[in-house]
Amino acid sequence: MSNKDDGHHHHLREQESYYAARTKALESLFREKNLIGQDTVDRVIGFFETEMGPFNGAKVVAKAWVDPDFKARLLEDCNAAIAELGIRDGIEGENLMAVEATKSVHHIVTCTLCSCWPWPLLGLPPYWFKDPAFRARIVREPREVLQEFDVKLDPSTKIEIWDSSAQVRFFVVPVRPEGTEGWSEEKLADLISTEAMQGLGLVHAN
Amino acid sequence: MSNKDDGHHHHLREQESYYAARTKALESLFREKNLIGQDTVDRVIGFFETEMGPFNGAKVVAKAWVDPDFKARLLEDCNAAIAELGIRDGIEGENLMAVEATKSVHHIVTCTLCSCWPWPLLGLPPYWFKDPAFRARIVREPREVLQEFDVKLDPSTKIEIWDSSAQVRFFVVPVRPEGTEGWSEEKLADLISTEAMQGLGLVHAN
Amino acid sequence: MKLQQYLGGLENVGPVSTEKRVFVEEWEKQLFGVHMCMMGTGIWAWPHLRVKAEGMNPLDYFKYRYYIKWLGGMCAFLIERNYINEEELDELTDYYLENPDAPLPEKGNPKVTQAVVDYMYTGDDPYRDVANNPVFKIGQRVRVLDPPSAVHTRLIGYLRNQVGVIDEVYPKAVLYSDSVPTDSISVPQPIYRVKFMTREIWPERPDTSDSLFSEVFESYLEAA
Amino acid sequence: MKLQQYLGGLENVGPVSTEKRVFVEEWEKQLFGVHMCMMGTGIWAWPHLRVKAEGMNPLDYFKYRYYIKWLGGMCAFLIERNYINEEELDELTDYYLENPDAPLPEKGNPKVTQAVVDYMYTGDDPYRDVANNPVFKIGQRVRVLDPPSAVHTRLIGYLRNQVGVIDEVYPKAVLYSDSVPTDSISVPQPIYRVKFMTREIWPERPDTSDSLFSEVFESYLEAA
């Protein structure tokens, strides 16, 4: 059996080398044809490391937790509210909408047709969000899928699912955990995962 | 590349050894538990080699070609007509129905839910009939699938598809090829393939 | 949606198999023999095998060869119903893997063979001698219903919500099977042959006068 | 039926991925960078990538990791539109396979980077300033239509034939995209947020008060 597995992994590594070489060939051709700049790829990756990432969403959620007026404005007009915090919108966030989780209603975001995701607030989508099995199951058996994410909901909690298919990118303000009274926004933001801001995680005070 | 292929084939052979051993284990347990006779498997296989096979269907078609009255009875009551030729029905042939292909109507039989097939006339279904891709495509794009079977229909020929799902097992009397006037039933029967009797082949005089 | 119940009409699945053989490996014959023995002695029937096939991961359903799927389905069924246990099956599999030429035990029930042959010549009569009062008549337009997903169905996925014409009313009441969970066909009922125009089912395809016939249980139909 | 258009609700597909990383191989970042460059310079847009994804063999769609599918889709698109040719791509791929540490050419268009960053901060406004006279209003019951299979759709398969309630009427006319073939959404039209009860979509599931919201183009709806 171990021989088989080694062969399998070897084969996988070979494929990855191929994909890597083909990608390199692609960028190389783009450079030759003046379709890309030498620093474009680095700048794009850096952009999602420093400018558009889940740190934005966490900042917004923490603010909403400590400032009820801000939260009201966020739920009313998400794009305008995040601008107050100096967060720019843009691609895949032209029309953002925040929904607030409560103890009785849990929100889950998915995109069964592709992988629509609120980039300005969460950066790029992680692999789980794009997984065909996740997208197949989350709309029909959300409680079973939540279990696979180790999320335990009270059975009486109602679930609302948001399946993006046209223009709006949905974003969840999760429930603020107990025991965080008086915490700073920075300290609160550190608790908030990407998953919690799409309903596949809860926020816990560490 | 050849290394990869060898590895692939080696892996396949290994799997086949496993399936073979597991099947042997299964029959072995059946024998230990007195659930099967020592000659049951051989007798079953022999049954489909000598008693229920496409030779029955070919005999029926040849008879229908040379005897219009028999053909009329066959199309009216298939089970009764084949009994005239000494062909017994039975499993997967309790309710047979023959449909006659003409130059203007071509019949195709499929079973998109499983693999319903007229065993008394054709024996056991070949692999193509059970292939998920065949079953997916034949009902929606029959002309494209016929091309993959090297069957060329006149574009004006209408297609009728028979998708078995309840009780009836369909059987096609194909078009008699030109140039076979006066041939014996035996000689005609030799021309007729299993595929032709389900609409995935035509009959040609060699 | 169970993909195996919606197989017909699935797009982009690549070339079809044109393999004309019934068995491509010797072990498949032996497996088929054991299956036929199970059928002939009443251990199982087609609906049990179909339930297993429809409950498979759809990707595995495409991936594995026909009799490989049967092998999995048969073993799972026999273990669930306690005809055999998994440990003894695994142990014996290992034994035959290491000793591929080892003979089978010279034991068994000699009466089974004839019972199986008799069964193959008899089959299963689906008709039930109960009142058959068909709701629909020849020439009538009917719409195929779209009931919830079931463990097992004989409703062809691509026919859901389609309208056809009754082409034939079968003469007797049919019982599909009451030994497996189905949507609505485990009670005797009329069946109909319904004619559909394929251009209505797949209007995006080139226009033809092609038609498609299928037998449909009454409980899957309503007047259109 | 294109399976990728009917993914939601597909049963028996096994455990979900809980991989929380965005990229699992370094080359994926580079590929994403090239993709973003294509977006920012107008070489392609999401609909082109979606058309490729929906046109894939559904088994390959499940089999290959996300960015492996992107790589295939991007290369195919660029070759079809003559941005690059297959031979040069294959040759260079072989070269970098044999020389994985060989540098990229020190060439390129220095203006592209800022254009791409500007684009990422701007995005695409789907709203069109044309008359928007929505047919449906908040609280109205609507049925989702079941149009023929299209090359590309934004109609979620499991919502076909379902009845929901209009939860929101979006204020302006939306143009999806007129650069790819769609069923009916390549003209500006109203969109609606529609609320569905999941127990009505999947009545075979345990009964809950769970609901599902989705935005639906007007041309996919009729009054219920």
Residue count (chain C): 224
| Six-digit token string for C123 | 């089959």
Over its length of 224 residues, how does chain C's per-residue pLDDT go in tens digits?
Answer: 999 999 999 999 999 999 999 999 999 999 999 999 999 999 999 999 999 999 999 999 999 999 999 999 999 999 999 999 999 999 999 999 999 999 999 999 999 999 999 999 999 888 888 888 999 999 999 999 999 999 999 999 999 999 999 999 999 999 998 899 999 999 999 999 999 999 999 999 999 999 999 999 999 999 99
Measured between alpha carbons, how far is A4 from C84 in angstroms, rounded to an integer? 29
Are residue A65 and residue A138 in the same domain, yes or no?
Answer: yes
Are residue B32 and residue B106 in the same domain, yes or no?
Answer: no
- Best residue in B4, B9, B14, B15 for a mutation probing chain A (most A CBs within 10 Å): B4
Are residue A146 and residue A86 in the same domain, yes or no?
Answer: yes
N-to-C CA span, chain C: 24
Q: Say if the Cβ atoms of D97 and A159 lie within 8 Å.
A: no
Quickly state the pLDDT bin for B206 (edges 50, 70, 90): confident
Task: Give domain status of residue B63, yes or no.
Answer: yes
Are residue A38 and residue A119 in the same domain, yes or no?
Answer: no
User: Would you identify the CATH topology of the domain C3-122?
Assistant: Cyclin A; domain 1 (1.10.472)
A145 and D15 in contact (C-beta within 8 Å)?
Answer: no
Which of A11, A30, A50 corresponds to the end of one domain? A50
What's the DSSP call for residue A64? H
pTM: 0.94
Task: Give domain status of residue B205, yes or no.
Answer: no
Question: Which domain CATH number covers B137?
Answer: 3.90.330.10
| Six-digit token string for D143 | 């049925």
D150 lies within 8 A of chain C by CB: yes
Q: Which domain holds residue A65?
A: 53-198
Q: What percent of chain B has pLDDT over 70?
A: 94
Measured between alpha carbons, how far is A202 from A177 in angstroms, rounded to an integer? 8
C75 and C38 in contact (C-beta within 8 Å)?
Answer: no
Q: Secondary structure of chain D in the HEC alphabet?
A: CCHHHHCCCCCCCCCCCCCCCCCCCHHHHHHHHHHHHHHHCCCCCHHHHHHHHHCCCHHHHHHCCHHHHHHHHHHHHHHHCCCCCHHHHHHHHHHHHHCCCCCCCCCCCCHHHHHHHHHHHHCCCCEECCCCCCCCCCCCEEEECCCCCCCCCCCCHHHCCCEEEEEEECCCEECCCCCCCCCCCCCCECEEEEEEEHHHHCCCCCCCCCEEEEEEEHHHEEEC
Q: Say if the Cβ atoms of D59 and C202 lie within 8 Å.
A: no
Task: Give domain status of residue B194, yes or no.
Answer: yes
The nearest CA of chain B is from the CA of A27 a distance in Å of 26
User: Would you identify the CATH topology of the domain D128-223?
Assistant: SH3 type barrels. (2.30.30)
Are residue A136 and residue A39 in the same domain, yes or no?
Answer: no
Which phi and psi (to 5°) does residue B148 adopt? -70, -20
Extract long-range pairs of D96-105: CB within 8 Å, 24+ residues apart: D96/A20, D96/A21, D96/A22, D96/A24, D96/A25, D96/A28, D97/A17, D97/A18, D97/A21, D100/A17, D100/A20, D100/A21, D104/A24, D104/A27, D104/A28, D104/A31, D104/A38, D105/A28, D105/A31, D105/A32
Are residue B182 and residue B112 in the same domain, yes or no?
Answer: yes
For Cα atoms C201, C203, C206, give the angle at the middle one, nearest 5 degrees: 120
Task: Give domain status of residue A37, yes or no.
Answer: yes
Q: Which ipTM was obtained for this model?
A: 0.94
Q: Say if the Cβ atoms of B42 and C33 lie within 8 Å.
A: yes
Q: Where are the beta strands (DSSP E) in A8-164?
A: 96-100, 105-110, 158-163
Are residue A107 and residue A189 in the same domain, yes or no?
Answer: yes
Q: At what angle do helices D26-40 and D111-122 cross, to 10 degrees?
A: 80
Task: Give domain status of residue A203, yes or no.
Answer: no
The partner residues of C168 in beta bridges, in order of sequence, read C193
Measured between alpha carbons, how far is D24 from D176 in angstroms, rounded to an integer? 31
Contact residues, B window 5-64, toward C, CB-based 8 Å cutoff = 16-45, 47-48, 52
Measured between alpha carbons, how far is A97 from A139 in angstroms, rounded to an integer? 19
Are residue B93 and residue B144 in the same domain, yes or no?
Answer: yes
Which among D10, D113, D124 has the least Cβ separation from residue A39?
A: D113
C34 interaction partners in chain B (CB closer than 8 Å) = 23, 26-27, 30, 36, 41
More confidently predicted of B18 and D128 = B18
pLDDT by residue (tens digit) across B103-125? 999 999 999 999 999 999 999 99
Are residue B141 and residue B179 in the same domain, yes or no?
Answer: yes
Task: Give domain status of residue A31, yes or no.
Answer: yes
Task: Give domain status of residue A95, yes or no.
Answer: yes
pLDDT by residue (tens digit) across D104-123? 999 999 999 999 999 999 99
Task: Give domain status of residue B124, yes or no.
Answer: yes
**Residue in chain D nearest C147 by alpha carbon:** D203
Residue that is written with structure tokens 């199982």 in the block: C44
Does residue A6 have a pLDDT over 60?
Answer: no
Residues D203-218, mean pLDDT to the nearest whole number: 96
Residue limits of CATH 1.10.472.20 in chain D: 3-122
pLDDT by residue (tens digit) across A145-201? 999 999 999 999 999 999 998 789 999 999 999 999 999 999 999 999 999 999 999
pLDDT score for B165? 85
Are residue A122 and residue A192 in the same domain, yes or no?
Answer: yes
Annotated active-site residue B116? The verdict is yes
B11 interaction partners in chain A (CB closer than 8 Å) = 4, 7
Are residue A118 and residue A190 in the same domain, yes or no?
Answer: yes
Domain count, chain A: 2
Are residue B106 and residue B18 in the same domain, yes or no?
Answer: no
